[in-house]
Amino acid sequence: MSETTTRTTADDPAEAPPRLPLFGLLALATAVFITVITEALPAGLLPGMQASLGVSEAAMGQAVTVYAIGTALTVIPLSTLTAGWGRKPVLLLAMGGFIAANTVTAVSTDYALTMGARFVAGMAAGLSWAIMVGYARRMAPPALQGKAIAIVMAGIPLALALGVPAGTFMGGAIGWRAAFGVMSALALAGVVWILAVVPDFPGQKAEHRTPVLRAVALPGVPAIMAVIVLYVIAYNVLYTYIAAYLGRFGMGEEIDTVLLVFGLASILGIWVVGAHIDRRLRHLTIAASALVAVAATGLAVLAENPALVYVAVGLWGLGHGGVPTLLQTAAGLAGAKAADAVQAVVVTLWNAATAAGGALGGLLLVWYGPVSLPWSVVLLGVPVLVIAVAARRRAFPRVYRTD
């Protein structure tokens, strides 16, 4: 009598499908969440901060600008300095920076000290952003690296859709100082979570590091960097002044609802990207670029109809939600031989383009009025789409090669 044994994939670990370290990736997503809220929180707490510190609204608004400057100026030097360190200590150092900066902000009664704390928070953000994408990739099986990055980057739309409004509400309910104190506590909880579930990875030995200039010259990387600069400028031209745009067409009182629609649509967008990025990165990038351009066109020509404005904002959020993941994944894959150096440049350009978009949007608003804002997104979106379609060999190919 013979015995027949039936084996399934689940019975054989060698044949088991690859799985994502979900709890570790969610810890990284929490760090991203903290980074984004820390950056944007002063915008919602501006009146209280201004009154407490005795400065003008314009001066207090520089709390966001100083944060971005701190990131842009220090990310490359800090990532170079810490390149040989273990990745987990670097991430914990960045989280410690958030704890210190938000705590000082919460107790400070001096404008200059507050601005210094915001600069330090920007430094912490740059340090964390420089390693975040590479960290997610190293934690995931090769076939699921894009999905891992999407999970981590989900912290961005979640922070914009839920965290920033919640922080603003909390500031009104318990005071802006308490709101920053809560951010410190959240960062401390993030440290505990990272210590518990996130693995460590070694840094790069000096002889294996690629200089920044050589890293950005790798095939495909320049095209991706051009797309990042153009897209981020276009996005911030409109997003920074969305309240002015809405006010022009009698929707100024609906800004919270409009941003909620945008944030929820962005969450849906990153879910779609996360589900398909490992097989459809090129198609998703082209589709997202086209969808943002269509949405901006709608905002330019349909502004008199509030219902259609909501539709256009929803399409904008749907297209935009996955873009940070798509572009950072593309940069990480094209620059795989120098991932940390490439990511440091991505963070620098992203923040510089954010500042440039805000400045350009302000000029357009003064010179040509609010309708010029969505039209500028359309105009800048054309070269973005052209590059995404044309750069099919290394920047946005169907199949990536790392040789």
pLDDT digits (tens, 9 = 90+) for 272-308: 988 888 788 899 999 999 999 999 999 999 888 889 9
**H-type alpha helices, 87-201:** 87-107, 111-139, 145-153, 155-158, 164-174, 176-197
- Can you give the pLDDT at residue 402? 42
Residue-level pLDDT at 386: 94
- Which two tokens mark 370? 């609010």
- 174, 52 Cβ separation under 8 angstroms: no
- Separation of alpha carbons 117 and 119, rounded Å: 5
CB 381 within 8 Å of CB 228: no
Place of tokens 């935009």: 320
Contact 258, 307 (CB under 8 A): no
Cα separation of 175 and 203, whole Å?
Answer: 41
- CA-to-CA separations, 329 to 150, 326, 391, in angstroms, rounded: 9, 5, 15
Please report the pLDDT score of residue 17 as a whole number. 63
Contacts 24+ apart (CB under 8 A), 170-178: 171/41, 171/44, 171/45, 171/48, 172/48, 175/48, 176/45, 176/48, 176/49, 176/52, 177/52, 177/106, 177/107, 178/106
pLDDT at 208: 64
Give the pLDDT of residue 105: 95
CA gap 51, 57 in Å, rounded: 9
Name the nearest CA neighbour of 78 among 69, 87, 90, 86. Answer: 90
Give the predicted TM-score (pTM) of the model.
Answer: 0.79
pLDDT of residue 348: 86
Q: At what angle do helices 57-81 and 111-139 cross, to 10 degrees?
A: 40
The pLDDT, as a whole number, for residue 16 is 57
Angle at 213 between CA 209 and CA 218, to 5 degrees: 80
Q: Which domains does the chain have, with CATH numbers?
A: 20-209 (1.20.1250.20), 210-398 (1.20.1250.20)
Give the whole-angstrom CA distance, residue 226 versus residue 271.
25
d(CA 329, CA 323) in angstroms, rounded, equals 10
Residue 8 is predicted with a pLDDT of 42
Q: What is the pLDDT of residue 149?
A: 84
Q: What is the C-alpha separation between 321 and 284, in angstroms, rounded?
A: 11
DSSP 8-state class, residue 208: G
Report pLDDT for 289. 94
Provide the angle, in degrees to the nearest 10, between the axes of the packed helices 323-334 and 339-368.
140
**CA–CA separation, 51 vs 367, rounded Å?**
31
- At residue 12, the pLDDT reads 47
Q: What is the pLDDT of residue 157?
A: 79
364: helix, coil or strand? helix
Question: What per-residue confidence (pLDDT) applies to 3?
Answer: 42
- What is the reported pLDDT for 164? 67
* Alpha-carbon span 96 to 155, nearest angstrom: 19
pLDDT mean for each 10 residues of the chain (403 residues): 41 61 93 89 79 83 83 88 91 96 95 95 92 88 84 83 73 87 94 95 74 80 93 89 82 79 89 85 93 94 89 94 88 76 85 83 86 93 93 75 43
In whole angstroms, how large is the CA radius of gyration of the chain?
Answer: 22
State which amino acid sits at residue 398: R
Alpha-carbon distance of 162 to 165, in angstroms, equals: 6
Rounded Cα–Cα distance for residues 192 and 194 (Å) = 6
Tokens of 84: 């040989």
